[in-house]
Structure 1
Amino acid sequence: MTTFVAHLDADCYYVSAERVRHPDLTDKPVGVLGNNGACVIAKSYEMKAHGVKTGTPIWDAAKLCPHGVYVKRDFYWYEVLSRKMLGIVGTFSPRVEYYSVDEFFFEAIPTSHRTDLPGTATKIRDYIREAAGLPVTIGVARTRTLAKLFSDTGKPFGAVAVLTRDHERELLAKMPVTEISGIGGKRADRLAPYGIRTCLDLADADGRLVNKLLTKTGYEIWLELNGTPVMPIRPERPPHQVLARGGSLMGNVDDPKLLWAWCVRHVERLIEELRYHNVRTTTLAIQLDWKDGTGTGGTTSMPVPTDRFDDLLDAARTSLRRAYIPGATATHMHVMATELRRAKGFQLSLFDAPDPKKEKLAATKHAINEKFGRFKVRSAATLYLPAVYRDPANDFDICDIRGKVCF
């Protein structure tokens, strides 16, 4: 029996999320602005019709669409609704992959008759609209690559199930090869001399040629286009190789106390990421960028994988000393955890003794911040950064929106 894959993609997700809590924005041209309100990171179809694109500076967008409504992004809210969607999809399918904040892959299971996948896609789409207030489009096909391609043909608020090879070929013939995720302009240029311009051209090409031109990744895409699933649904993603937190120091910093305060802030943010992804690290690195254009770094290894604040703080102190240049002025800092391991219980080193007091303290800190807001309890070392914590915009990171690259 053929197993089908479904791809769910929320329509204009950031805008749709704003409309859930502000229904008066419905049918209006809406633009969501990035961290500093400088550019549009998402736009409604109504605003898109005025020529506003993702990345358009706000001053240009206001000229193109003077009657538009521009709102500041709220990544926390988008994450909340995304998790709500994930929960809904999980009631319809036993295997769901959280691909990004507004995209999921899942095993398509008919809700009634075993062949009624079109009806199933429509039912899930409509239920998400009713329960979460979000418009989504769902595509169902034999592989991930096909499902993602075909869901794009149904936007907005569509439900597409492509179950036969003839139907697949009909749609693939209409799509340029650049519609495939992973095939950009450079790869398309490699294919063009061989007459491969559409998705159907690629599907019909010789697999050995595709492997030669696009290597293993391209060959896997070719297999998927021909209905052979090689990219599984991953309910739990493989561990990251590196997790990092950092960025601009919001000015020039030459005071070692301020530099340490920034370091502690980034360590606390990094621990959030480690725990979110259920991993621990044995190596902590710090990279500093200096005003004169140079950069320095320091790395510290730990005896066992950890996500504990006290362990990482000790490692950060050593790494910062190794990267620090006395009297120099720093502009950027990044704190990086490498050699990540999936967190499964606690492994103690030969000379470690369990410290239940530290564990309880860390758990209490986490519980308070979960309930009352991020950084409500934080290290006293960060008291040297009152302006950072006073500005609510700094409660969220650019990458707090999981799986998306934002401005």
Structure 2
Amino acid sequence: MVTRASTRAIGHLDADCFYVSAERVRDFFLDEKPVGVLGNQGACVIAKSYEMKGKGVKTGEPIWDALEKCPDGIYVKRDFRWYEVLSRLMLDQVRELSPRVEYYSIDEFFFQAEAARGQSLQSLAEEMRDRIRERVGVPVTVGIARTRTLAKLISDSAKPFGARAVMEPDEVEELLGSLPVTEITGIAGRRAARLSPWGIASCLDLARADRRLVRSLLTAAGEVLWWELNGDPVQAIHTKRPAHKALSRGGSFGESTAEPAVLYAWLVRNLERLIEEMRFHGVAAGRVTVALRYKTGHSGVGQRTLPVATDRFDLLLDAARPCLRKAWMPGVQASHMHLIAEDLGPRDQCPPGLFEDPAARARAEAVARVKEQVNNRMGRFSLRSAATLRLPAIYRDASNEYDICDIRGKICF
């Protein structure tokens, strides 16, 4: 295996059981107990403690199955507002110790690892881990290596509450030889099956394989992983999130429905949330897509291109209605909806429609400003479309006011 002599290092920090750890920060009673965090309106486990994992509970498992495996568990509703508070506190701590930091996800950061004079990279990893535990209260694991891919493999293998820097070629080789190729992010069942006939089962096998073979089997993305495993840092650290190519809002209904009025209420809710995000990023949509998923396993999709890109509620709703009708399967229970804005362009560069009434445009803009001002002052969704009145439970439950998609600035979704 070829490893460059460069001393450049990249770190990966990953919080341990982050959602559970965040709940424990504000409630010490949960320490050392089997804890599950619920999403999907309380229907499934989206995170679990190591104690609950030991009982066999898996991420994404329905709550009724989790209760059978772990009846003495403590199950709490997710609170992404609180998780974001701790996430940004962790981000601040990492930035104090690194000149370049990528906010990859709510509980993961990549950073340029630069040890201070007289400090080793191993002690830097330990300092970062211990500082966040002390100042934020969240246990994390830190891995440092020559590339992003290696750093993540190291941190994953050092969990929980580990800190490890692996820079020497023989240490890297030993680590890669001990890990199955599926430990690499981006290589799961299908890709592993393509590699298996060629005798590629471990991370080391992939690193030693012919680069051209890897590219033919896994495309250019696989070749990037090959270079990274061999110590060549070809994946950059992004200190700012790249511009969105599309924006989406939606997800599970929690309780499936075949009622047209309820589906329409969800469409309006998702549209209002989507417009919030478009306004934040200063973009307008040239195309909208509505996708429905059904309990039968079927799916329906409707799509419409707008004459002129816009972020106006009335115009987007007019476009989304026929999309919903096309995606709708009458009488079939729907479980998920996603509303997607595509062909995004700068909002301030979108011209008015050729036949658009200037007075109607001015009224729509005035309504949007008032709605935004009221909600900024009185609370999110204080002022919303009456169509959403058919979803009282959703607006009554504070856990539904804020979603992980609403945490801005992350690279990963």
TM, length-normalised to structure 2: 0.83
Who is 1:40 aligned against? 45
- Compute the displacement of 1:114 (Å): 6.4
Who is 2:351 aligned against? 349
Who is 1:273 aligned against? 277
Per-residue CA distance 1:88-120 (angstroms, 9 max, x = gap): 22222232212211111111122x226622111
Who is 2:91 aligned against? 86
Which of residues 102, 109, 115 is equivalent to 1:104? 109
Q: What amino acid does structure 2 have at the position aligned with 1:314?
A: L
- Compute the displacement of 1:139 (Å): 0.4
Question: Structure 2: any 5+ residue segments left out of the alignment?
Answer: 1-5
Contact 1:300 1:319 in 2 (8 A): no
Who is 1:13 aligned against? 18
Count, aligned residues: 397
Who is 1:197 aligned against? 201
Rounded to whole Å, the distance in 2 between the matches of 1:74 and 1:404 is 21
Contact 2:122 2:163 in 1 (8 A): yes
Contact 2:257 2:263 in 1 (8 A): no
Who is 1:240 aligned against? 244
Contact 1:35 1:72 in 2 (8 A): no
- Compute the displacement of 1:205 (Å): 1.6
Per-residue CA distance 1:45-99 (angstroms, 9 max, x = gap): 1222222222344344334333322222222222222122122222222322122
1:219-298, aligned counterparts within 5 Å? 219-246=223-250, 248=253, 251-255=257-261, 261-275=265-279, 279-287=283-291, 295=300, 297-298=302-303
Rounded to whole Å, the distance in 1 between the matches of 2:351 and 2:73 is 59
Q: What amino acid does structure 1 have at the position aligned with 2:257?
A: G
Who is 2:132 aligned against? 128
Matched, 1:317 2:344: no
Rounded to whole Å, the distance in 1 between the matches of 2:302 and 2:235 is 37
TM, length-normalised to structure 1: 0.84
Rounded to whole Å, the distance in 1 between the matches of 2:369 and 2:96 is 31
Which of residues 38, 44, 54 is equivalent to 2:59? 54
Moved more, 294-303 or 148-157: 294-303
SS across alignment from 1:32:
strand
Moved more, 332-341 or 143-152: 332-341
Rounded to whole Å, the distance in 2 between the matches of 1:233 and 1:405 is 13
Per-residue CA distance 1:132-191 (angstroms, 9 max, x = gap): 110000101100000000111211111111122122112111111111111112222322
Which of residues 30, 46, 61 is equivalent to 1:25? 30
Contact 1:254 1:330 in 2 (8 A): no
Question: Structure 1: any 5+ residue segments left out of the alignment?
Answer: none
Calculate percent identity across the aligned residue pairs: 53
Moved more, 168-177 or 81-90: 81-90
Matched, 1:337 2:341: yes
Q: What amino acid does structure 1 have at the position aligned with 2:169?
A: R
Q: What amino acid does structure 2 have at the position aligned with 1:374?
A: R
- CA pair 20-363 structure 1, distance change in 2 beyond 3 A: farther
Q: What amino acid does structure 2 have at the position aligned with 1:379?
A: S
Contact 2:111 2:237 in 1 (8 A): yes
- Compute the displacement of 1:364 (Å): 5.9
- Compute the displacement of 1:381 (Å): 4.6
Matched, 1:374 2:375: no
Who is 2:217 aligned against? 213
- Compute the displacement of 1:196 (Å): 2.0
Contact 2:12 2:111 in 1 (8 A): yes
Which of residues 385, 388, 396 is equivalent to 1:390? 396
Q: What amino acid does structure 2 have at the position aligned with 1:377?
A: L
- CA pair 236-213 structure 1, distance change in 2 beyond 3 A: same
Rounded to whole Å, the distance in 2 between the matches of 1:277 and 1:93 is 27
Who is 1:143 aligned against? 147
Contact 2:110 2:148 in 1 (8 A): yes
- Compute the displacement of 1:269 (Å): 0.8
Rounded to whole Å, the distance in 2 between the matches of 1:147 and 1:35 is 32
Contact 1:242 1:336 in 2 (8 A): yes
Contact 2:103 2:411 in 1 (8 A): no
- CA-atom RMSD, angstroms? 3.5
Rounded to whole Å, the distance in 1 between the matches of 2:77 and 2:133 is 24
Contact 2:15 2:141 in 1 (8 A): yes
Contact 2:141 2:155 in 1 (8 A): yes
Rounded to whole Å, the distance in 2 between the matches of 1:235 and 1:88 is 15
SS across alignment from 1:91:
helix
- Compute the displacement of 1:328 (Å): 6.0
Q: What amino acid does structure 1 have at the position aligned with 2:108?
A: E
